[in-house]
Amino acid sequence: MPTDGTVKYAICKARQAVAVQPEDLEQLTILYLKSKPDLLTAPRKLNGGSKLENDALEAAIKTYFGSSGERFKPTFITEVNNKHSKHRKGEQLTDGPLNEQTSVAAYTSALAHLRQE
Is the same domain home to 32 and 71?
A: yes
Helix residue spans in the chain (DSSP H): 4-18, 30-34, 37-46, 54-65, 69-76, 98-101, 104-115
Q: What is the pLDDT of residue 61?
A: 72
Q: Is the pLDDT of residue 117 over 60?
A: no
Quote the domain boundaries for residue 73: 23-77
Percentage of the chain beyond pLDDT 90 is 0
**73 and 67 in contact (C-beta within 8 Å)?**
no
Q: Is residue 52 part of a domain?
A: yes
Convert the pLDDT of each residue in 59-86 to its tens digit.
777 777 666 666 666 666 666 666 777 7
Pairing relation of β-strands 84-89 and 92-97? antiparallel
| Coil vs helix vs strand at 91 | coil
Per the structure, the count of domains in the chain is 2
Tell me the β-bridge partners of 86. 95
pLDDT (mean) for 2-31: 75
Is the same domain home to 52 and 87?
A: no
Is the same domain home to 92 and 55?
A: no
